[in-house]
Amino acid sequence: MTTTPTSVLSSERSNPALRRARIERSTRETSITADLVLDGSGRASVKTGIGFLDHMLATLALFARFDLDLIAQGDLHVDDHHTSEDCFIVLGQAIDKALGDRAGLVRFAHAYAPLDEALARAVVDLATRATASIDLGLTRPAIGQWACENITHALTTLAVSARLTLHADVLKGANDHHRAEAAFKALGLALRDAVRRDPTLSPTDISNSTKGVL
């Protein structure tokens, strides 16, 4: 189904020190609301109707130390694709909005995360170049109700919507649940570092870029 979505993006800053964003997205396929605090504690309340998707969004928020409230209603009678994709569009837009002009950020970060026999690596750059290279090596058709092809697509969608560069690889692992979860843990850890304000930057070099702007 092709439709033109309507999106409402706003920033709620009751505490100026906290970087916040609220995103509401409604189409003929999904209706999603997300509230994000980048400078949070890792608290998450996620309800999408897809159990493993909820688990991975909560995992990402925990290790990134984001506070995330996300509620989605989607056409799950069709399949999981629209709900999955749109959740990561909304989350990516929220990250992009909350980052503001991105001045003074650490910008680059990488992290490794193991889960039992699985080992994942995530590398991010917040310089607004939307690029993704994802290799999770998943072999099952689905984990729970979330199709494995849509898990890979979700991470690409996040990178595009958040305007960041993301490389995510699972280096080894025999269990697809472990492989996917390790990837989301690694991504959360990398984002946790990348979104931090860099105390070593001078007032004349807050872009953290040779171009002078991100």
Residue 48 predicted with pLDDT over 80: yes
Higher pLDDT, 210 or 8: 210
C-alpha dist (Å) from residue 195 to 109, 112, 114, 170: 9, 17, 22, 23
Inter-residue contact 157 to 82 (CB < 8 Å) = no
> Which residue do the tokens 């080992």 mark?
119
pLDDT in tens, 69-93: 999 999 999 999 999 999 999 999 9
Do the domain assignments include residue 1? no
Would you state the torsion angle of the CA atoms of residues 211, 131, 175, 150, taken in this order, to the nearest 10 degrees? 150
Please tell me the total count of domains within the chain. 1
Gap between the terminal Cα atoms of the chain: 35
Question: Given this model, what pLDDT does residue 24 score?
Answer: 98
Structural tokens at position 94: 């929220």
Do the domain assignments include residue 210? no
- Sequence-distant (6+) residues with CB within 8 A of 146 are 50, 51, 52, 53, 56, 80, 84
Lowest-confidence segment of 38-52, 99-113, 148-162, 196-210 by average pLDDT? 196-210
Q: Give the domain CATH number at 44.
A: 3.30.230.40
Q: Which domain holds residue 24?
A: 6-194
pLDDT category at 26 given cuts 50, 70, 90 is: very high
**What is the SS3 string spanning 6-28?**
EEEEECCCCCCCCCEEEEEEECC
pLDDT category at 100 given cuts 50, 70, 90 is: very high
C-alpha dist (Å) from residue 33 to 22, 69, 91, 165, 203: 7, 8, 9, 24, 36
Do the domain assignments include residue 166? yes
Residue 140 predicted with pLDDT over 90: yes
Degrees to nearest 5, angle at CA 93 with 181 and 66 = 50
Residue 6 predicted with pLDDT over 80: no
Give the amino acid at 169: D
Question: Given this model, what pLDDT does residue 135 score?
Answer: 98
Do the domain assignments include residue 22? yes
C-alpha dist (Å) from residue 194 to 37, 105, 157, 191: 15, 7, 19, 5
Q: How far apart (Å, rounded) are the C-alpha atoms in residues 24 and 71? A: 10
Question: Given this model, what pLDDT does residue 212 score?
Answer: 61
Of the candidates 37, 12, 39, 10, the residue with the CA atom closest to the CA atom of residue 25: 10
Do the domain assignments include residue 213? no
pLDDT category at 12 given cuts 50, 70, 90 is: very low
pLDDT category at 202 given cuts 50, 70, 90 is: confident
